A and B are shown apart, each in its own frame.
Chain A
Amino acid sequence: MISFILRRLLQSLIVVLVLSLVLFIGLWLIGNPVDVLISSEATEADRLAAMKALGLDRPIWEQYLVFLGNAVQGDWGTSFVYKEPVTRILLQRLPASIELALVAFVIAIGFAIPAGLYAGLRPQSRLGRAFMSFSLIGVSIPTFWQGMLLIVAFGIMMPILPVGDRGEVATHFGITSSLWTLDGWWHVVLPAFSLALLKLSLLIRVTRTATLEITRLDYVKFAHAKGVRTWRVVFVHILRNAMVPLITVIGIELGNLLAYGVITETVFSWPGLGKLLINSIKVLDRPMIVAQLTYTALLFIAINFIVDVLHMTIDPRVRAAMGRRST
């Protein structure tokens, strides 16, 4: 287990390094941020001065090394636009994104797994088919459009839910979040549902397929043949085995929720990371972009690690395979 963790850490380090290098070169190819930042009337001298101030006059490899050196010490640079340390801005925005993602995640999992399980166990039933139709609609509608529809439905035609902003926030245990207040919850419901809809629909289908496949297997028939109660067959034998493929999908989807809430955050003007990323890209705020995409990479690395650990916990065969590889 320890060798597995060490190996993973080393792999992760390499991934982050390569990613930051690709990012750096990619952004350098896109264009010079100074052209976007300074006004069009500025002289060539002003332009050079601005480049010098931002460190853009130095060769690309030198810029990269300076960035790496600082990043290791926790300094991810200063935003070109906000003139503030990038890490501080990120930490300000992070809670909003995380709270939205977590609520969406709970909605998605809480509905998709029972619904998918039911649809898999009773594929011919009316309710099972209704879940499938729902999920087909869910995966087919683009997120921005269903977001706008939700705003029209619940904000304008039936104005019962707020449709923008986080609402009231409060700070407990050093975390500022709207989930501490009732008004905040009121605000988070609609965007969270909008964000959850696609994942939810996808997860219903994955859960149903896994359940259908496993129900046909001999060990489920054998569990019935032992006289095991139906609910126990479903939860101990079928669901647990279905979790093996599900966990991978759930992990990826959680990562997507945390990193790519861009569209939903834009539609519902949610002050999270997604909106920040879009704005940063528009003005080529290099340090912001690099920091955010690195955060995304780290997030996925962490989630993949957790998924692997969960697989090892659930499935003894994976445990055995990991053990063999590390020795």
Chain B
Amino acid sequence: MRVEAEADLKALQATGLKKLKPDKPRIAVGLATCGAAVGGRKVYDRLREAIAREGAEIDLVQTGCIGYCREEPLVNITLPGKSLVILRKVTEADADAIVRAVLNGKVPEDKALCRVPAWDHVTGFVMEYGKGFDAIPLYQDVPFFAPQRKVILRNAGFIDPEDIGEYFAVGGYAAAWKALHGMEPEAIIAEVEKSGLRGRGGAGFPTGLKWRITRDAPGGAEKYLVCNADEGDPGAYMNRNEMESDPHMLIEGMIIGAFAMGLRHGLIYIRSEYPLAIERLGRAIGQAREYGILGENIMGTGLSFDIRIARGAGAFVCGESTALVASIEGRTGRPHPRPPRLTDPEGGLFGKPTDLNNVETWCNVPAIVANGSGWYAGIGAKGNTGTKVFSLVGKVDRVGLVEVSLGTPIRTIVFDAGNGGANGKKVKAVQTGGPSGGCIPLRLFDMPVDYESLNKAGSIMGSGGIVVMDEDTDMVDIARYFTGFATGESCGKCVPCREGLKHTLLLINRIQAGKASKKDLATLQEVCETIAATSLCGLGQTAPNPVLTTLAYFREEYEAKVRP
């Protein structure tokens, strides 16, 4: 069926709700990549066997990930009229007990992480699950969730990402309908501008402005709209989860953008290391076409817009916009000097002006259109509106994806959500922004996480990776690690990056081997400053940040290793 009237969308929502909140029990297993790998897949299989054995009337589905990775595998149980209950650390051995409990109208409370009486899916729909299970803590009382605000991960871990019906159920594609049928393109761009949304890929460029520039560029509809899904920062996986858990929200964001900018061709450039995300996106695109949401005459508007997937082939530098374009065009990812920018005439993909936004940027768009720019601008801080998903990993107790309002202090993320160091160790620093970011010491943890504060501290927002270091972490080794990474991922085009990083790595290796002198430290600082100042693209310009910040904040660790 094709969505051609608002009533179609309402009907699909009603049908979807019967799946999401059926009149029989429903068990949903978190099967994003990591949930599946830590045993979720086996749990799913055992549950299926148990249900079949019992001949039970239970719906078994898969869902994405709510982000509490430490507690995986996670399993949701919905009993009619009762609160949704999330079970934690479920193993194969628990399958029979779960099915038996569910058949008796119960849940295994010893396995329960929390209960969810109602859930706001943000784009205009609040799911009322029901009451009950009062002994189980409420979702918002779980310390890991307490400081969080879910806007981007609004559906993650609740709906089946492979079923467009469940996306309809939670109000999916209603924002696209509103935009395409009730708003002028100019009004949408104005809304996005007023919302204050900035690029979530790391640089923080105002999204609405980028859209405006692209729309005003010559080329008519034959321009490109591209989603950057080349999430390259090691230690960052929020984009993977967004695509694996809720692929339709990305598609919906792109549709709204395409309409606002008047474009027909959409592309998602995704790294090949994410096979499940590629599979689910492919499936979601297929479903959207089936319902007339992508392709010709979308949602009965007479407009055409379609999305294709282009896969990367293993190159971090292809997250850089000009290298990304080169890669899609079938060339090596060697950046070219800007200008021309992608949005310039002849500057983008196949010589056409091109709008490039990160996965998470797109995911914000339906929420902005559904609730208005004022609502969005009310979240976060001035100039840094909205939420951001961070991957909190490394030597932290509670590992996972944490979505908080921008401007939240690092301390809240690491200590309130993350509960500090793992195994009782003391936290020493965090590294934000991947290989382009820097190390921020504990004494600066009251700093709000926003684009400007992180830059001032010598780091960057990047895609949102936060890697926690504890008292045992050797900060020189961290600098060596990131320099090694950047050296291996340098495209090799310009000398400061190609040669400068190589010699930076050699110098750090000398320091680690106890063969360096104080003079070498000065050389290290000098060469890093030159790499930052003279490299051709963002990769090179930011690659020295891990060294420069550890030199600034943990100089004593370097000095302890060098001869006077």
Q: Do A and B bind each other?
A: no
